[in-house]
Amino acid sequence: MGIGLSSRIKTHATDLGFQKVGIAPAGPHPKLNSDLNDWISSGHHATMQWIESRKDERGNIHKYFPRAKAVISVAMVYHSGHEQKDLSSNYKVSNYAWGDDYHDVLKSKLFQLLGWLKTIEPNVKGIVCVDTSPVMEKAWAQKAGLGWQGKHTNLISRDYGSWFFLGELIVDIELESDKPFTEDLCGTCTACIDACPTQALEDYKIDAGKCISYLTIEHRGELPEDQQDLDGWIYGCDICQEVCPWNEKFGKTSEEFAFQPRSEILNYTDDDWNALDEKSYRKLFKGSAVKRAKFSGLKRNIISNKHKDTKLSDENN
């Protein structure tokens, strides 16, 4: 088993710009599978059929990559160091989407890691995953020792908080593994559950249909009648992470230039957002994660928040 190789992989991944790296054996993960099935049968995935349609692969890594022997799990900090109050607009955009699309940034580094690994193990087969693959990234990161899933359901590390993305390089060679992270350092805290404006969280579980992140990014068409209040967010939502004491104490600013905010994100006023047309949208969000919401979704979110403001000022007059 590659003991020396595991530590060389970690050093190389760190040199590429990942803050955390851990390795888990690609063995069975029965709790993950049963929790996922419960979550889906409770309808907590809302309209995200793409989760259900590949649930067997999500619940069993060998259905996705039969030759898998080890999962190299990586984390990369994205927080730009700016806060919502630094924006010129009252509309809020999740911090993870202020710069370039993280899928591209992490994938390119993971492919570099695979390319380097092939120079040592020429026959290795590897799959690079970032977000969109049918892999339960948080559960694998916990198994690889990176941290624990907090009550807001994101993965938290004791040295970086939770403002990071996850990715994996799954390989068909055995590697020395790390110990899984077995502690739950949330303790009696319930700050995320209490602060969530839509009551989407219950201990360690999310009802995605109620979550503003889902509503602003994933939901297509009109917003449901009872989920119209987006609390000022036009893309994503950061509230449950903003209130987390682990981020207050240990959250770090990203050193990755690609995650620095685009100037329009910082400087756009409410009027600029209200006037956004498809042409400016395409230009502003070229190579950005915000494309996921599509122009129609972003426009719907802006209009929905604008109507709320109009209603509030009518009530105050």
Site of interaction with ligand B12 (CB under 6 A):
32, 35-36, 39, 51, 94, 96, 130-131, 135-139, 149, 152-155, 162, 164-167, 204-206, 208, 211, 213-214, 217-218, 236-238, 240
The item of ligand SF4, ligand B12, none sharing an interface with residue 94, based on CB under 5 to 8 Å by kind, is: ligand B12
Residue 228 within binding range of ligand SF4, rule CB under 6 A: no
Strand pairing partners for 233? 92
| Rounded distance between C-alpha atoms, residue 102 and residue 258, angstroms | 8
Distance CA 22, CA 168 (A): 10
Picked from ligand SF4, ligand B12, none, the partner binding residue 239 (CB below 5 to 8 A depending on kind) is ligand SF4
Residue 200, interface with ligand SF4 (CB under 6 A)? yes
Choices 119-127, 242-250, 277-285, 299-307; region in contact with ligand SF4 by CB under 6 A: 242-250
Q: How far is the CB of 3 from ligand SF4 (least distance, A)?
A: 34
In b/e form, how buried is each residue of 157-187, taking b as 16+ CB within 10 angstroms?
beebbbbbbbbbbbbbbebebbebbeeeebe
Query: Chain centroid to CA 302: how far?
Result: 22
β-pair type (126-129, 164-171): antiparallel
Q: Which is nearer to ligand SF4, 16 or 195 (CB)?
A: 195
> Is 56 part of the annotated catalytic residue set?
no
* Separation between Cα atoms, residue 170 and residue 102, nearest integer Å: 19
Q: Is 212 in the site for ligand SF4 (CB under 6 A)?
A: yes
* Given the residues 131, 231, 270, 272, the one annotated as active site: 131
Nearer of residues 244 and 289 to ligand SF4, judged by Cβ: 244
CB nearer to ligand SF4: give 22 or 251.
Answer: 251
Under the criterion CB under 6 A, does residue 51 sit at the interface with ligand SF4?
no
| Residue whose Cβ sits closest to ligand B12 | 236
| Nearest residue (CB) to ligand SF4, 10 versus 79 | 79
Pick what 208 binds: ligand B12, ligand SF4, none; C-beta below 5 to 8 Å, kind-dependent. Answer: ligand B12
In angstroms, give the least distance from the CB of 97 to ligand SF4.
13
How would you label 294-312 residue by residue, b for 16+ Cβ within 10 Å and e otherwise? ebebbbbbbebbbeeeeee
Minimum distance of ligand SF4 from residue 250's CB (angstroms):
11
C-alpha 93/C-alpha 292 separation (Å) is 13
Q: Which does 93 bind (CB under 5 to 8 A by kind): ligand SF4, ligand B12, none?
A: none
* Cβ proximity to ligand SF4, 56 vs 194, nearer residue: 194
Return the one option of ligand SF4, ligand B12, none that residue 121 interacts with (CB less than 5 to 8 A, by type): none
CA separation, residue 179 to residues 75, 126, 148 (Å): 17, 22, 12
Secondary structure tally for the chain: helices H, strands E: 15, 10
Cβ–Cβ < 8 Å for 176, 23 = yes
Q: b or e along 132-147 (b: 16 or more beta carbons within 10 Å of the residue's beta carbon)?
A: ebbbbbbbbbbbbbbb
Tell me which of ligand SF4, ligand B12, none is bound by residue 150, counting a contact when its beta carbon lies within the kind-specific cut-off of 5 to 8 angstroms. ligand SF4
Interstrand relation of 92-93 and 233-235 (parallel, antiparallel or unpaired): parallel
The Cα 165–Cα 48 span in angstroms is: 20
Active site residues: 131
Binding site for ligand SF4 (CB under 6 A): 150-152, 186, 189-192, 196, 198, 200-201, 206, 211-213, 237, 239-240, 243-246
